[in-house]
Amino acid sequence: LSNARLHLEGPFINKEKRGAHLSEYLMDGFPEGIKSFENVFGTDLRNVRIVTIAPELPNSMEVIKWLTNLGIKVSLGHSEASLACSLEAVRAGATGITHLFNAMKAFHHRDPGLLGVLASNEKNRVFYGFIADGVHSDPVALRIAHQVHPAGLMLITDAVSAMGLPDGEHQLGDSKLTVKGHKAVISGTNTLAGSVTSLDSCVRRMKQFTSCEAHVALNCATLHPSQFLDISDQMGSLVYNSIADFILLDDDLNIKATYIKGKKVWQRV
């Protein structure tokens, strides 16, 4: 699949909203503009598909325009941006919001911040990720987002390598994380460190939390992400000449079988 590549979530994010990212690895903006980006990632960006940027960092707009012109998706996140700054970034080419509600400025009635994009005149340009694990955001937050901008909602897991492993302490890069139940935190803190949920469970939770139809929740995990990445002719729905990666589900949205390129590779016993 030619268009499914890397998501660079950092280091050009706000240190105050870094989440589990280590502050010593983060950058304070783009003092040399595009050159600052190339100093970190080099000039060969063929394998990059998404870059998360905090738009309030110095010279971000120049870099957002440049990445957009390269065909790379810019997602806004880990940010304290005002609504005005967020909308400027969208007009510069940003089309995504990274894990809505998490690691971003909280909503305020006089400056809604990045969250305000969902109710703005620019909302139809934007898709947003949502971690529907019941831990990262309250179910009411999911209902609000879905009601305000349903066509842009993308279910994501934000899962880390500890997904599927037993409760206890695990390694996450240079950090230790502790998993208990559905929650993963940096050990010794209450800071969430990604999730340990699966995408099918996010689909089930969205249906439960919003009372939406099954196909609506499924579109948020399949069609909408493919539209964001401009690969809906290949993935996200079963259409002529699509890749035919798909799953079979039972009535409770549990996975029964998995198909890759039209061939069954796994079946629940």
Find out whether 168 and 179 touch, Cβ atoms under 8 Å. Answer: yes
Residue-level pLDDT at 4: 62
Q: Is domain 1-125 annotated with CATH 3.20.20.140? A: yes
Bridging pattern class, strands 175-180 and 183-186: antiparallel
pTM, full prediction = 0.95
Question: In the chain, pLDDT over 90 holds for what percent of residues?
Answer: 94
Q: Catalytic: which of 28, 44, 133, 158?
A: 158
Per-residue pLDDT, averaged over 155-159, amounts to 97
| DSSP-derived secondary structure letter, 165 | S
**pLDDT tens-digit series, residues 181-209:** 999 999 999 999 999 999 999 999 999 99
Handedness of CA 46, 55, 159, 225 (dihedral sign): negative
Q: For the chain, how many residues are written?
A: 269
Nearest to 135 by CA among 70, 81, 192, 78: 192
Q: Report the C-alpha dihedral over residues 113, 116, 121, 127, rounded to 10 degrees.
A: 100
Residues 6+ apart with CB under 8 A from 209: 132, 134, 139, 142, 143
Residue-level pLDDT at 5: 87
**pLDDT tens-digit series, residues 222-266:** 999 999 999 999 999 999 999 999 999 999 999 999 999 999 999
Active site residue 158: yes
Question: In the chain, pLDDT over 70 holds for what percent of residues?
Answer: 99
Cis peptide, bond prior to residue 150, ω within 30 of zero: no
